[in-house]
Structure 1
Amino acid sequence: MATKQRKAGTEGTTVNFPGVTAEFHRPDHVIPTRDDLSGAAETVRGYLPSGQMLAFYGGLGALTAFSVIEWPVAAAIGAGVALAQRAGGTASE
């Protein structure tokens, strides 16, 4: 019923049923190289905030977690700082 066959360098299995024939092939897997992984890491680092801003956002989150400020206020502060930085200024200036 099932037969193994070789087709264009890949191994597959063909199953013949009445009225239908199914072919199953092993998928091609691509293993990323070290250069691929380092390129992806550099891309992610480009989107992360600086260490100073990461500490600011962490502190803002801690204040919210300990109920010192409410979460809508913290979200408004965080969004305002992010928008101000995108506009060209930095929070430390």
Structure 2
Amino acid sequence: MSTLTRNLSGSREMMKTYCRRVEIPVLGEVAVPPPDKLAYYAGLGVLAAFQVIEWPLALVVTAGHLLADQHYSGLVKGVGEALESA
């Protein structure tokens, strides 16, 4: 099995582990983050609702965490390593 194929199959398994999907009638299939991340985002929402932090700050922090926690970056890393070894 080539390095690229091994990395792609490993990334696919990781995506299945971390991406739970829920079917919503109007929106279709929606990805749900893991429970620990969901609790973090809910905590930010509660802080913003009680005006401990401002809504724009809560949105920026949430967007930053979503970008930093992308589980798909492993796929990009695997492809890059495979291309370097080729």
TM-score normalised by length of structure 2: 0.49
Higher helix share: 2
Higher strand share: 1
Decide which structure has the larger Cα Rg and report it: 1
Higher RCO (CA < 8 A, seq sep 6+): 2
